Amino acid sequence: MSTDEQKAINKTLAWGLLKTNALVHKLHPTNLRHSFAANPQRASEFSVKTEHLFYDFSRQLVDRATMKLLFSLAKTAGLPEKIQAMFSGLKINVTEGRAVLHTALRQQGNNPVFVDGQDVIPEVKAVLTKVKQFSDEVHSGQRTGMTGKRFKNIISIGIGGSYLGPEYLAEACRAFAKDGLILRFVANVDGTDFAQKTADLDPAESLFVIVSKTFTTAETMKNAATARNWLKAKLGDNPEVVKKHVIAVSTAEKLVSEFGIDPANMFGFWDWVGGRFSAASAVGAVPLSLFLGYENFEQILKGAAWLDEHFLLAPLENNIPVIAGLIDIWNINFLGYHERALLPYAQALLKLAPHTQQVEMESNGKRVDVYGRPVAFATGEVVFGEPGTNGQHSFYQLIHQGMVIPADFIAAINSQYQVGTNSATAVDHQRELLCNFLAQPDALAFGKTADEVREELVSQGKLNADEIEELVPHKVFPGNRPSSSFLINQLTPFTAGLLLALTEHRTVVKGFVWGINSFDQWGVELGKQLGVKVREQFLKQPNDPQGFNPSTGALFRSIIEGKLLN
């Protein structure tokens, strides 16, 4: 171990003390009913109030001692210094030798941030100016397609980080979209995605944005080539068609122009922007400014920047992404809960879970630490989710009475649309939604005892005593199921940006404490490499597959034969 190597976090005193604390929790399981009764201040003590976001973690299985130990773990891991290092442009992505500066993409001032001696802020601002100009030209009709028709359809082709973050933001902000503009995303190489997303579109009114940091990703290149053919089939085999109807967001200018795209219509970003952290770069700026107008994209950046500042400046004890990340660590590593349910009570947040899945699971699903040493504890968690109330009618049964899965509830006080009205006998849609947002965490936390069930059944007077006793165990809710509640005023571009940054920072807090590199993704490479070999087989020797194991060989032969083989 070289002198600058840190002790693995699970070998530190802080970790050991948390282990002991967890043991105490195991021997005397937290009873949230008692915790609330014993401490009338619990709700305010275990929550953070800010101008734009309220975070209540009072229903988590933590007490003062646990929180103190978690903050001490964060300090032991050097969390404050690591956060500073990230914002200042140090090359903390060690396996790729890169800085990690997605925060620079939304910086609201002009404070220099240096990478290799060069201030990156002027370049960031220059790209944004170019995006604004381009999207304004499309909206004003100054920039049109081959036939002079205005662009009505924006089709963004990209996958992974070149898709999920922008799609989350597009859905979150759909209520703010420019009239008459359609934005669709094509990500999957399954031709169904392209075919269905373009079936009702007129190529003359369609503008494709090819989003790929590397401009080599197989799925994206396949979809991009198909888009080029689709355009040419209708608009003519003329290089001008691609120049007018296809633009790119990439770091690979040479490949972009080889594809036929006018380099003037390429929007750049930099190797210090990781794919899953790139929604605030041109990756999101181009499709979202076209869809929402540049001014709304600017609001997204402002919201993210607000959270960035909170993350950078708030003390650990009052820092929302830090607390959320530390509680995740408590749940994962000390209580043994390896899943997290993301439950937004806002239909427009329907793509928050898929985006968070990439940010969390691609970043933190690692087997070694930054020094290459195997980690002896779980890194990462399985994140899944659905907007409420839909999830309630799907998987909530399991989280109420089956497995214990820590849950995050997210809601806005005000809806994006006023639907229905409140009266003495009925509430509007938003209040109806929020009834559930308020009720579900309590059901999880406080449950329903056998005595309460019994009392309820007796008062209903429908069953005899034996029948009641038979039913009681089925209707008991154990309670003590941890959850947090996040509340915003309204889902707007600003708060959508804020939630984007919250997702990113919460993830890196965990990576920093665990001592892993949250910014590389070598785990996605092997499958890609094997895919290349399979493609070669498809191209070269369809009747005599070589080099496959018996299982893959049998599947391959069925595909080649075009039918299931007996």
List the structure tokens of 383.
């994140």
Query: How large is the C-alpha radius of gyration of the chain?
Result: 26
- Nearest to ligand F6P of 430, 518 (CB atom): 518
Question: Can 205 be counted among the known catalytic residues?
Answer: no
Alpha-carbon distances, residue 450 vs 32, 68, 142 (angstroms): 17, 35, 70
If you search the block for the tokens 């800010």, which residue do you land on?
A: 50
- Nearest to ligand F6P of 362, 381 (CB atom): 362
Q: Which long-range contacts link 467-473 to residues 24+ away (Cβ below 8 Å)?
A: none
- Nearest to ligand F6P of 535, 540 (CB atom): 535
- Nearest to ligand F6P of 187, 468 (CB atom): 187
* Rounded (10°) angle between helices 282-292 and 164-172: 30
- Nearest to ligand F6P of 8, 159 (CB atom): 159
Taking the CB of residue 211, how many other CB atoms lie within 10 A of it? 33
Q: Which of 75, 254, 528, 540 is catalytic?
A: 528
Question: What are phi and psi for residue 224, nearest 5 degrees?
Answer: -65, -40
List the structure tokens of 480.
């003590």
Using alpha carbons, select from 293, 344, 315, 243 the residue that is nearest to residue 140.
293
The DSSP string of 222-258 is HHHHHHHHHHHHHH-S-HHHHHHHEEEEES-HHHHHH
Report d(CA 262, CA 107) in Å as an integer. 29
- Nearest to ligand F6P of 213, 505 (CB atom): 213
**What are the start-end ranges of the H helices in 409-549?**
429-446, 450-460, 465-475, 493-514, 525-540
Q: Could you tell me the smallest distance in angstroms from the CB atom of residue 88 to ligand F6P?
A: 24
What angle is formed at CA 39 by the lines to CA 25 and CA 50, rounded to 5 degrees?
A: 100
Question: Can 130 be counted among the known catalytic residues?
Answer: no
Q: Which of 393, 455, 456, 536 is catalytic?
A: 393
Which residue is closest to ligand F6P by CB? 275
If you search the block for the tokens 């999207």, which residue do you land on?
A: 135
- Nearest to ligand F6P of 322, 383 (CB atom): 383
The answer to whether the beta carbons of residues 408 and 483 sit under 8 Å apart is yes
The answer to whether the beta carbons of residues 208 and 262 sit under 8 Å apart is no
Q: Which of 167, 362, 381, 504 is catalytic?
A: 362
The DSSP string of 25-47 is HHHS---HHHHHHH-TTHHHHTE
Report d(CA 374, CA 361) in Å as an integer. 18
Q: Could you tell me the smallest distance in angstroms from the CB atom of residue 125 to ligand F6P?
A: 22
- Beta bridge mates, 65: none
Question: Can 362 be counted among the known catalytic residues?
Answer: yes
The strand pair at 118-119 and 153-157 is best described as unpaired
- Nearest to ligand F6P of 365, 479 (CB atom): 365
Torsion of CA 408, 414, 417, 420, to 10 degrees: 100
Q: Could you tell me the smallest distance in angstroms from the CB atom of residue 160 to ligand F6P?
A: 3
Torsion of CA 83, 87, 93, 94, to 10 degrees: -80
List the structure tokens of 282.
């041109």
Q: Is the dihedral of CA 367, 370, 375, 377 positive or negative?
A: negative
Alpha-carbon distances, residue 285 vs 170, 201, 307 (angstroms): 11, 23, 18
- Nearest to ligand F6P of 223, 296 (CB atom): 223
Q: Could you tell me the smallest distance in angstroms from the CB atom of residue 285 to ligand F6P?
A: 15
Name the residues that contact ligand F6P, by CB under 6 A: 159-162, 212-214, 217, 220, 275-276, 362, 521, 524
Say whether 443 sits in a helix, a strand or coil: helix
Report d(CA 441, CA 345) in Å as an integer. 12
Q: Could you tell me the smallest distance in angstroms from the CB atom of residue 503 to ligand F6P?
A: 15
Q: Could you tell me the smallest distance in angstroms from the CB atom of residue 55 to ligand F6P?
A: 28
- Nearest to ligand F6P of 274, 515 (CB atom): 274
List residues with catalytic annotation: 362, 393, 528
